Structure formats: C-alpha cells, structure tokens
Amino acid sequence: MPNPNATYRAQEFPAIELVEDINAIAVHDQGNSTYVVDFGVNHAGWPELTMKGARSTTVTMRPGNGTEKYIPTFRYVIPWISIYTSGKLDWGNSIILLPLYLYQSYSERALLEEFYPNMAAFLNYLTTCAKNNIASYGLGDWNAIDQSTPAGVIYRHKYSVLALNISSAFHKTFFNASAHTYATGSQAADVFALEMGAVPLSEQENILAHLTNDIRQHNYHTSCGEVALPSWFRMLSHYGHAIVHGATALTEDWDGPLPTRGQQLSSQNHFMFGAVDEWLTRSLAGIQQTADSVDYRILFIKPTIVGNITFVKANLILNIEIPAGSVAYVHVPGWNVTPNYGTLVQQSATTNTTIFRIKSGNYGFQSTTFLNTR
C-alpha cells in the first residue's frame, strides 16, 4: 500500500490520562428525577462519569459549579453560603472590578451602564459591613504563606470609590510607626498600603525598605496569597515553584502539585496566581496605558531590564507596533538613541531615558549605551 500522507507533529499539551477515581460522597434527591451528586472536590479537566440505571433512560448531566452558558442568567453576586451568608468581599468585588477593567481595556461602556445599579448596591452593602471604613471579615489573603495579614488590610484595596476616606482610615488603623510597616508587617500589608496610596510621602521609602527587607529574609520569596499577589507582582518579582514540580496549569495553592501541608491535593487548574501574566507584559515588556486612557488609546512603552545588572554598554533594539487609532509614549533606555522617530518629549540624564511620542505604525529604536537605573 502507498505511504500515508500523515505527518508526526509535536503535541503541546500533556497526554490525557487517568489521574484519579473519585466516588460520590453524597447524592441529593431534588425531586422530579433530579439529583445533585456531590464528589467533595473541585474538578478540572475531562471527567468521565459512570452510573447505573435502567436501559433507555435519558440522563442529562450539568456541572454544578459554574454557569451553563456564556451569558449568565444570574446578575447579582452569588453568596458563598457554606462560609458566609451574604456577599463576600474578595470574590464578590468582581461585580465592580470586572466592568471597570473591561471598560479600561476595551472601552466597553455598555456593561458599566448595565451593571451600575449592581455595582452601587454592592458598594453600599460593603459600607454597612465596615466600621470606620474598615471591613474585617472574609477569607483575608487566601492561600498566603504568611497567614498573619488581617482581613481588614486586604479589602481596603478593592474599593477606589471610597479611596480618600479608606486610605485615611487604613493608615490610622494599621500603621506601625515604630517598625515603619503596617499591621503585622507582612508583605501583603505593605504592598497594599503602597499601591493604594495610603502611605504618606514621608514614610514611603521606609515602607518600601521594610517590604524589600522582608523579601530578603524569605530568601527572595513572596509570602502573599492570591488576593495580595497582583499588587506584589506589580511591585516586585515572580515565582516558579509549581512549574519545577510538574504543573502544566495554574494551581490553587502555592504548593502546586505537592500537597505538602498535610491537606488534600488542591485544584490543579485554577486561575489563582495568574497575576504574573500581567507582570510580564506590564512590568517587563513595559506595555501600559496612561491613567486617563481607555481601550489602550494612549500607551506608554517602558521596558525594564531586571537582574543584578548595574551598567550595560551594548546595543538595545526596540521594535514596536502601535495599533491604529492609538498613540504611545516610548521610554527607551539610554541617551544616544537613533533613529529619531516621532516627537522627542524628554531626555533625562538622571534616569538615562529618552522619551518619544509616536502615532500608530511600526517603529524601531536603537540605543547604543544605556544604564540600568532601577
């Protein structure tokens, strides 16, 4: 027979294999031949379900831990009944943050207009839970290594509408003047205070010094959980333990594929610590939009060189494509920058940076000598 035309191709995904057999821990009869089966564990991947029943019986299976279609039926925050009987501060704040982020990234006004009553209602609800602008219930910094961060520290970061009052209350409640830190001195407490703008100008260097010293004491590791982690990444560095131990997706716990704390293995496909993705594009590649921009119409490009480098004498080539309708402020490391595209905005000997304003199109910049002045 002739040779087949098929070719071998590398598979990017790991093989689909049997991982574990899980038995139901409870079956709840809902009436009308409807049953809720509880397996006692969160599922991710491709489950194969087996059951016994009469021949020709039609069985319809639906997962119970998510929406059944792309457009949700339920428009309000769903309370976590198993722990709290009302809306939670950590996951519940998505009713405010998601419409805001979608507007900032895609200029999506329709969702802001549609969900504004829900956003306002949830924010008003939170004010009833707070005492002197501090709400101290909830999970806190979930799955943190350092478990000492009070819940009240975590949730002040979420509600920018009350920023001035909350910042003042935050500083008054949690600032430790003698130690130059906040609350228990955890990394989470410091990064939240810095990012939300609660730290007075006179204390900012002291708080940053306390934070970086704590990271050094943890052998250059984070002690934050998933709630504080986005702020931590926006401030500092990254983590790779799970990949080293075989994880192929983001995991729920810092332990990754290793149940090292004597507990049941957590979810192995969970968007819990995904803040590193933003850190790679926002901080390393330096692709950001200005504070007053939406839909990335006004960009600034500021790549960052990391590591222990203090001086570089070399060539830096920066190629940029700006989409149609946008403008960008490009921060090129170095002083001697060619060619001179766009409008020269600023040259700084202090930061050793040259800034250009460019319109949509493709551009190339080359810096022949530059310093790493982080």
**DSSP one-letter code for 234:** H
**pTM of the predicted model as reported, rounded to 2 decimal places:** 0.43
Average pLDDT rounded to a whole number, residues 264-279: 70
Task: Please give the pLDDT value at position 162.
Answer: 64
Domain 94-281 bears CATH identifier 1.50.10.10: yes
The residue among 57 and 341 whose pLDDT is bigger is 57
All residues at 6 or more sequence positions from 170 whose CB lies less than 8 Å from its CB, including other chains? 133, 134, 153, 156, 182, 193, 196, 198
Per the omega criterion (within 30 degrees of 0), is the bond before 339 cis? yes
What value does the mean pLDDT take over residues 261-277?
Answer: 66
pLDDT given for residue 286 in this prediction: 77
* Residue of higher predicted confidence among 144 and 216: 216
Inter-CA distances, 291 with 135, 149, 214, 313, Å: 27, 29, 30, 33
Mean pLDDT rounded to a whole number for the chain: 73
Q: Decide which of 55 and 314 is more confident.
A: 55
- What are residue 367's DSSP bridge partners? 316, 337
pLDDT bucket at 3, cuts 50 / 70 / 90: low
Mean pLDDT of 201-215: 87
Highest mean pLDDT among 12-26, 132-146, 337-351: 12-26
Alpha-carbon torsion (89, 256, 308, 185), positive or negative: positive
> CB neighbours (10 Å) of residue 139?
20
- Phi first, then psi: give them for residue 193, nearest 5 degrees: -60, -45
> Top-level CATH class of 286-367?
mainly beta
Range with top average pLDDT, 44-48, 60-64, 88-92, 327-331? 327-331
State residue 104's pLDDT score: 87
Cβ neighbourhood burial of 321 (10 Å; 0-12, 13-18, 19+): exposed
Given a cut of 50, whether residue 158 has pLDDT beyond it is: no
Six token digits for residue 311: 């001086």
List the domain boundaries for the chain: 94-281, 286-367
DSSP-derived secondary structure for 125-183:
HHHHH-BTTB---S--STT-SSTT--HHHHHTTS-GGGHHHHHHHHHHHHEETTTTEET
Report H helices in the chain. 94-106, 109-129, 151-155, 163-174, 187-196, 204-217, 229-235, 241-244, 275-279
Q: What are 292's two structure tokens?
A: 């007053």
Q: Mean of the pLDDT values across residues 275-287?
A: 74
Q: Hey, is 118 helix, strand or coil?
A: helix
- Torsion, CA 129, CA 134, CA 136, CA 139, rounded to 10: 90
pLDDT, residue 105, reads 86
Residue 25 predicted with pLDDT over 70:
yes
pLDDT band at 179 (very low <50, low <70, confident <90, very high): very high
- The percentage of the chain sitting over the pLDDT mark of 90, rounded to a whole number, equals 2
Residue 117 reports pLDDT greater than 60? yes
pLDDT at residue 237, as a whole number: 38
- Greater model confidence, 54 or 231: 54
| Token duo for residue 360 | 């949509």
Tokens of 14: 């790991």
Residue 339: pLDDT band (50, 70, 90) is low
Amino acid 252 reads: E
What residues have CB less than 8 Å from 272, skipping those under 6 apart? 143, 226, 250, 251, 252, 253
What number of other Cβ atoms are within 10 A of residue 13's Cβ?
6
Highest mean pLDDT among 73-82, 100-109, 163-172, 348-357: 100-109
